[in-house]
Amino acid sequence: MKVTFLGTGTSIGVPRVGCHCPVCTSDDPKNKRLRCALHLEHQDHSLLVDTGPDLRTQALRYKIDRVDGVLFTHGHADHLHGLDDVRCYCFDREGPLPCYADLHTIERIERVFDYAFKKNAPSTTPQISLHLIEGPFTFCGLDIEPLIVYHGRAPVLAFRIGDFAYVTDTNRIPVETIERLQGLDVLVLDALRYKEHPTHFNVEQALEIVATLKPAQTYLTHMAHDLDHHKTNAELPDGVELAYDGLVLELR
């Protein structure tokens, strides 16, 4: 499986509009962070994890010419509101584009993108089918295990695929999910900033989770402008580093 980080930034992205801090004004491309999303490629299949508002830019930048399906972690705007841009992936399909999500996210999609579900909706709207995630399932040749984590009080889906796990937008991982995240080769984990936050792990809290899970390698994501890429990496322990937009992992 090939994993491409399409975006590694927080909900407002980096640089932040109107901000002139050292990270926001940095020329380092690794300090430029679009909203969080992944692209997974496996056996000639192409799968998105989340469709944030930067999807069109991400698709063009990373040359994503085809998408066979979408997984959603949750329905917040920075992970959902680019869904309209999957229209281009629907034009040459024989059927609707399958999208997998929990019930709350499905209800939000049906509300926010109601025009796509109206009777006789034109082909210029996203042609998608919604599939409720109720447990592990197989899609595009991948065995996908959904796991519950908490973003404040709101449940969010993490995903384990083989020995890879994507855990974004969380500040609490329940015991039963901790148990399912053992033995990972690669963990991608939320780490917003150094200061504590009510709905996200900060760096210290993320490192505590890493110490508990002991994955072979961890990449931190969903980062604000508080974290300079190289300065922060220099302070992280071995086996932990910041992800960055365009990072590619080739996984067995």
Check residue 211 and give its pLDDT. 98
Contacts of 126 (CB under 8 A, 6+ apart): 83, 84, 86, 87, 90, 97, 113, 116
| Token pair of 35 as six digits | 């909203």
Average pLDDT over residues 183-210: 98
Q: In the block, which residue shows the tokens 């090939």? A: 2
Q: Does CATH place domain 2-250 in 3.60.15.10?
A: yes
Check residue 83 and give its pLDDT. 98
Task: Supply the pTM of this predicted model.
Answer: 0.97
- Report the C-alpha gap between 23 and 11 in whole angstroms: 16
Max alpha carbon distance in the chain (Å)?
A: 56
Q: SS3 for 72?
A: coil
Check residue 252 and give its pLDDT. 82
Which tens digits make up the pLDDT trace of 32-66?
A: 999 999 999 999 999 999 999 999 999 999 999 99
Res. 123 pLDDT band, cuts 50 70 90: confident
